[in-house]
Every structure is written in C-alpha cells, then in structure tokens.
Structure 1
Amino acid sequence: MSITQQYLLDTYRARRLGEPAPPAPGADDWQVVRELRDQWQLRAAAGRPAHERTGRLRRSLGRWLHLRPRSTC
C-alpha cells in the first residue's frame, strides 16, 4: 500500500468516525528541515565547526543510500 493510499484510507476512517483528518503526507517536511537548520546553527554558534556536521551527515546518508536494496524492475 502506498503512502497516498494509506492517507486516503485514514482520512475515510476519520470522517466516518467523526474525528479530525490526519495531516497529509509531507505536510510538515519543510518545518522539519527548518528545525534541523536551526539546530545546526545553534551547534555552530556553540563552537562546533560546520564541516564536521556536514561530513558526518554526508557519510551517514551515503551509507544509508548504499545499503538500500535496489529494485529489479
């Protein structure tokens, strides 16, 4: 089931039960990015060099991307 299908199913159930609809997938993505940026800026202001942060982030993302199974389609 895709994210969109799950969202539509959850929205349908919420409407039938009279509950508030769930947030759309990806609705808060930019807020999360802003919060991460703010956290990085606070760490940088505390004396932590910026290149260490981005290096670790890139390494961890690189490992994550290489560990994902490739599709056979």
Structure 2
Amino acid sequence: MSITQQYLLDSYRARQLGVPAPPAPGSQDWQVVREWRDHRQFHAVIAGRPARGRARRALHRWWARALGRPARAVRPRSGSRSEANAAIARYDRTPE
C-alpha cells in the first residue's frame, strides 16, 4: 500500500468516525527537519560543543530570563544589512 492509499483510507475512516482528518503526507516535512536539527544542536550543547543558530538564540533568551535580564539581540554577522545601512548613514553625514 502506498502512502497516498494509506492517507485516503485514514481520511475515509476519520470521516466515518467523525474525527479530524490526518495531515496530508509531506505537509509537515520541514517542521520535522527543523525539530531534528534542533534536537541535534541540543545534544551538541549537552556534549559541550557550542550552540549555533536557533538553538543559540533560544538558549540565550532562556538564560537571560533565568537571570532576570532583558534578552539583547545576538550580534549580526559581518556583511549584514545593518552594517551596510550604517555605512550609508556615515557616507551621508560626511561633508562634501
């Protein structure tokens, strides 16, 4: 039985029983990938390796709340848009 056939059978059974239909196959793939990546990063932090990306920001927010401090923004990477905007602002202020 293919995934599509199983989904159609489950949808039919759900409709007969009056319960919500199951999600379509593939509709939550990206969420599963994100959760798997976050799980790997969590175990990396537990093992003593540095956190990166979403895990780092989440840990920073949690730690700031635990200490009662406001969470500050994580420093942007070099070459980011904010640095480009700052360079433009400096250029605009220079006398001609």
Which gives a bigger RCO, structure 1 or 2 (Cα 8 Å, sep 6+)? 1
Partner of 2:58: none
Instruction: Looking at secondary structure, tell me which structure has more helix per residue.
Output: 1
Structure whose CA Rg is larger: 2
Secondary structure, aligned partner of 2:27: coil
Q: TM-score, normalised by structure 1?
A: 0.52
Verify: 1:24 aligned to 2:31, yes or no.
no
CA RMSD of aligned residues (A): 2.0
- Structure 2 residues not aligned, in runs of 5+: 51-96
Deviating more after overlay: 5-14 vs 36-45: 36-45
- The list of structure 1 runs, each at least 4 consecutive aligned residues, that deviate by more than 6 angstroms after superposition, is none
- Structure 1 residues not aligned, in runs of 5+: 50-73
Q: What is the identity percentage for the equivalent residue pairs of Structure 1 and Structure 2?
A: 76
Between the two proteins, the alignment pairs up a number of residues equal to 49
